[in-house]
Amino acid sequence: MNSAASKLPFQPFLVQLADLTLLQLTNWRWSWRGLLLTGILAPTFTILALGTFAADSGPLALGFVLTGNLVISLLFSTMGQVSSHFAFMRNVGRLEFFATLPVYRSALVLATLAAFFALSLPSTIATLIIGMIVLQVPVAISPWVLVVVPLISLRLSGLGTLLGLIGRTPEEVSSLNMLTTFVLAGLGPVVIPAENLPPFMSVIGLVSPATYAASALRQVILGWPDRLPLVLDLAVLAALTVGLLWLVERRLDWRVT
């Protein structure tokens, strides 16, 4: 434990969480527009491209395009940005700086995830509105969306944190993030219905967290029943979130516990 940090009193956990969240948000006060644009462009182009092909396949395919692109939006605006941010903090020594302070490791991690969740909300909402207008898909938004979207974002942010900690360089982290994004978005019935996928991909997709995220979104945004019940989606996403945060805690070197 750092001797200087050990002489300073620890603030309550919730106070640290609030202060660190505000601190992380202030780092992006000049560049949040770029984050918003990045989080909207990729899903919008995918909506336009896939929507053209899915138009003749009926409402089912269009609904998958809409909710699948919400998952892609969260992949780009949460997982991608969080992985890059942790890679940056690690490489410039900012994590070591925080470790010298009387700060809980978990408070820093959760504050970073909360900040990027807040930053991702505008692009997620914009993607939903653009998708509704372009695809003409009727929605039936359930109050459960207030649980599902933060849980998906938290799970993806946890994965982004882990990628940012295991990559040796920012360039390697960027490559890992891009590869993970394409694998999660393309594996299983995320953007394309299971009926239109090869059977082996539907089976393999059951190991992909994006499958459960897309399934949950279809149920709470479109009001559609799914082969995976919502309670299962929530249980899997919650278990993955806890597991990822535990791995992050193990991976993040800290001198103050």
pLDDT at 236: 93
Predicted model pTM = 0.84
Q: What are the mean pLDDT values of the chain's consecutive 10-residue runs (257 residues total)?
A: 52 88 83 73 79 77 88 81 87 85 87 88 86 88 92 87 86 86 83 84 85 93 90 93 87 65
148-151 long-range contacts, CB within 8 A, separation 24+: 148/216, 148/217, 148/220, 148/233, 148/234, 149/74, 149/124, 149/217, 150/117, 151/216, 151/234, 151/237, 151/238, 151/241
pLDDT at 8: 54
Nearest to 21 by CA among 116, 85, 154, 101: 116
pLDDT at 255: 59
Q: What is the distance between the alpha carbons of residues 96 and 119, in angstroms, rounded to a whole number?
A: 25
The domain locations on the chain are 10-251
pLDDT at 198: 84
pLDDT at 218: 93
> Cβ(170)–Cβ(91) under 8 Å?
yes
Nearest to 88 by CA among 163, 159, 152, 17: 163
